[in-house]
Each structure stands twice: as structure tokens, then as C-alpha cells.
Amino acid sequence: MKLKSLVLDGFKSFAQKTQIEFRPGLTAIVGPNGSGKSNLVEAIRWVLGEQSAKSLRGSRMPDVIFAGSNDQAALNRAEVEITFDNSDHFLAVDTDEVAITRRLFRDGTSEFLLNQKFVRLKDITDLLMDTGLGKDSFSLISQGKVEQVFNSKPEERRQFIEEAAGILKYKKERLDAQSK
Ligand code: ATP
Ligand code: MG
């Protein structure tokens, strides 16, 4: 399973639809301060289900929608689509490519799609849980995360290990069953 492409449309500073193809090997995103490098990483976290506006450097979720610039008016919608090569069927979806899309409108309406079909956020989180791809997983290591692991309490450190070991899914299923 590999990251194939990312499309940003109206997300933060990406007012124009922007598509990035990830080729085999290492990809480095470089650019001057304020050019959108962090916004791009946040778009990945957002499309994978991030629910905290703060961790995307905003105060409310609609802050991710392009807010306008000197030469362009604000937009009413942010959309991000991430596509994975799933030819090894690592993700539990029966297709060789898996596309996850998230949209947010200024009125707060939110949409998630899996392979262009509407799904719930829960379907996305369930799909990604224990794959190492979820928004809190180690596929995205943000600034300060390494210190956070070192400085965490034993219970929190245990959670990191449980995520890495892939047992979170079973714990969550047990909790869901107990609450029924
Ligand atoms: P650095 O090298 O300093 O880390 P960077 O390339 O990571 O910079 P970002 O933090 O991704 O840059 O981009 C910041 C820019 O994105 C700022 O100019 C900010 O105004 C712009 N920006 C953030 N949110 C929005 C939004 N909703 N609408 C328009 N522009 C936005
Ligand atoms: Mg940055």
C-alpha cells in the first residue's frame, strides 16, 4: 500500500485545485516560509479524519477553507482527496486503488467519500484503524511528537505501543459491545 496522489482544492492556501503525484522513492516538499508546506501535511491529516481544528492551527474547522487573498475572494468549500495504491489489498477494500475524499462547506456541512461513494467518518476511521495510517498514527510525525513520546505518562506510552501492535481495533470493538 503506497501513497499515490493528493488533491487539494480550496484547502487553506490552496485556492487553486492542486494535484501532487507521489512517485516511488522519497518525496521532499520544499519552499519558502508561508508557501504551504505545513498546510499540505495538514491536508493529509484532515482527509484521514482529523477532528480537532486546533491541531490544524485553526480555531474552528471552517478555518481550513481558503479565506481569500489580495487577488482572490474567499471560497465556500474545502476539498482534499488522497489516493493510495492498494494493489496488495492492505486496506480492507476490494479495489486496487483507494480514494478518500473529505469536503467541508462554510455552513458546516461535511462529507466523506470512499472511492467516490458517500460514507460516514466512522467508516474511514474503522478502515484506517490499526493500519498505521490513522490521523494519530506514526505515518505522520509532526514537530514535537518525539518529545511527546519521551515525556508521556506510562498509560499514554502504552497507547503508542498498542497502536503500533495493532490491537486498538479489538479494544474499541470490546468497548462498543459493552456500551450496547
Ligand atoms: P514555514 O516554512 O514557515 O513552516 P510553510 O511552507 O509550512 O512555512 P504554511 O504554514 O503551510 O507554510 O502556510 C502558511 C500560509 O497559509 C500563511 O500565509 C497563511 O495565511 C496561509 N493560510 C492558512 N490558512 C489559510 C486559509 N484558510 N486561507 C488562506 N490562506 C491560509
Ligand atoms: Mg511549516
pLDDT, tens digit, 9 for 90 and up, residues 78-132 = 999 999 999 999 999 999 999 999 999 999 999 999 999 999 999 999 999 878 7
Query: Which pLDDT score, from 0 to 100, does residue 136 have?
Result: 65
Which residue's CA lies nearest to atom 11 of ligand 1? 36
Lowest mean pLDDT among 4-8, 30-34, 89-93, 130-134: 130-134
Ligand 1 neighbours, Cβ below 6 Å, are 12-13, 31, 33-39, 63, 65-67
Determine whether 162 is exposed, middle or buried from the number of CB atoms within 10 Å of its CB (0-12, 13-18, 19+). middle
Residue 17 annotated in ligand binding: no
Residue 158 CB neighbour total at 10 angstroms: 11
* DSSP β-ladder status, 18-21 and 97-105: unpaired
Residue 86 annotated in ligand binding: no
Q: What separation in Å is there between the alpha carbon of 88 and the centre of ligand 2?
A: 33
Report which bound ligand comes closest to the CA of 39: 1
Angstrom distance (rounded) from CA 136 to CA 3: 17
Query: What are the distances in angstroms from CA 117 to CA 15, 123, 157?
Result: 24, 11, 37
**CB contact at 8 A, 35 and 41:** no
Quote the strand ranges of the chain, DSSP E: 2-9, 18-21, 77-85, 97-105, 110-114, 117-119
Lowest mean pLDDT among 19-23, 58-62, 111-115, 143-147: 143-147
ipTM, interface predicted TM-score of the complex:
0.98
Extract long-range pairs of 116-125: CB within 8 Å, 24+ residues apart: 121/49, 121/51, 124/48, 124/49, 124/100, 125/49
Region 135-147 average pLDDT: 76
**CB contact at 8 A, 113 and 146:** no
Q: pTM of this prediction? A: 0.87
Q: Which residue of 6, 8, 11, 13 sits with most ligand 1 atoms within 8 Å of its CB, as the best mutation to test the pocket?
A: 13
